[in-house]
Amino acid sequence: MTMRTWLKTLLLTLSIGWLTACSEQSDNSSDTQTVEKAKSYRWKMVTTWPPGFPVLQEGAERFADNIKTMSNGRLNIKVYAGGELIPPLQTFDAVSQGTVEMGHGSAYYWAGKVPEAQFFSTVPFGMTARGMNAWLYDGGGLELWREVYKPFHVIPFPLGNTGVQMGGWFNKEINSLADIKGLKMRIPGLGGKVFAKAGGNPILLAGSEVYTALERNTIDATEWIGPYHDQRLGLYRAAKHYYYPGWHEPGTVLELTVNERAWNSLPADLQAIITTAAQAENVRMLSEMEQKNLSALAELKQRKDIQIHRFPDDVLQKLKTLTDETLQEEAAKDPKFKHIFDAYQAFRQKNDAWSDISENAYLAIP
């Protein structure tokens, strides 16, 4: 055999070996993908909402149904309302610990554990749903949110928004800030801190407890959501003075939380399905909330046994001042809170500048 023939034989042998290895690798990769796509997952989601709760609990269940359909049954999520599997205000802990794979609630419910998470829920006199969606999806907010939840092994997604809420139901008229002093009110999050600074006594209650507490005078006032849910809960039977606007919750983001380990166990296509379904439900829930609120408000206005009031301007201005003081105080004592506060404020300033000459200017047309 000549040297040239030997070299040709060697090159041919190496080429065949390389092609065989590539084929085997491709086959193995294909086999792995096939196994992943054949595997099915059964997950649990717990929420903070009462059973059958319109829009919010229904939206969480619709989200799960859509995922089942989009994944062709490969990801099946069983949804449990607050108290059915986990107490309503323990959903974050359940997801963090891996007791369940998913949760649905709002970030201000975990303020005692993660104070800075409140910026991803709502801020008194802060951004509305439009601004919050812009910040979270395209302004770096979601990345910050995931940075905040990372130590808890939780991955968050926006999943719904209440829009601008009502100011709440009171058993007496609010004519000045003095009328707030000593008042026991169900009001969560940063709004509760501002309310306390104004002399009130904030109480944190799950939705299922609100009506009973107000009816029995355990509390003197309560905010809940908006006309539709307030009417459904029958709050007009327990208090006669209904106030607006919802200074404390101008655009409350609802959150999907996913356990990090569970998320990492999914193939990329199922992760994409969850992401897309969450975005779709985020829009759907806000739209449904707006439609139902406008219809319910028209009905409440017909009632003769309640009075719908706007908070006096001086009360709103004082609450706004107290909000600024509260945020500065919280930021001064907590560097994590300050980090998110600074990012929120930076985006909000740009959002407000645009709103002033776009939506606000349009709405101000006589």
| CB neighbourhood size of 137 (10 A) | 13
pTM of this structure: 0.87
Q: Which residues contact 308 (CB under 8 A, 6 or more apart)?
A: 242, 243, 244, 300, 301
pLDDT classification of 1: cutoffs 50, 70, 90: low
Q: Which residues contact 113 (CB under 8 A, 6 or more apart)?
A: 92, 93
Q: DSSP letter at 44?
A: E
Return mean pLDDT, the chain: 91
pLDDT in tens, 81-126: 999 999 999 999 999 999 999 999 999 999 999 999 999 999 999 9
On whether the CB atoms of residues 148 and 92 are closer than 8 A, the answer is no
pLDDT computed for residue 148 by the predictor: 98
Q: Is residue 80 situated within a structural domain?
A: yes
Q: Is residue 168 situated within a structural domain?
A: no
Instruction: Say whether pLDDT at 349 is over 80.
Output: yes
Q: Is residue 213 situated within a structural domain?
A: no
Q: Is residue 13 situated within a structural domain?
A: no
pLDDT in tens, 9-52: 444 444 445 445 555 555 554 554 555 567 999 999 999 998 99
For the domain that residue 126 is a member of, what is the CATH number? 3.40.190.170
Q: Is residue 63 situated within a structural domain?
A: yes
Q: Is residue 230 situated within a structural domain?
A: no
Domain containing residue 319: 40-161+250-326+335-366
pLDDT in tens, 213-223: 999 999 999 99
Q: Is residue 167 situated within a structural domain?
A: no
**How distant, in Å, are the alpha carbons of 41, 163, 195 from that of 262?**
10, 31, 39
- Structural domain total, the chain: 1
pLDDT computed for residue 2 by the predictor: 53
Q: Is residue 52 situated within a structural domain?
A: yes
* Residues 235, 43: Cα–Cα separation, whole Å: 35
* Residues 255, 267: Cα–Cα separation, whole Å: 22
H or E element, residue 135: helix 129-138
pLDDT computed for residue 320 by the predictor: 98
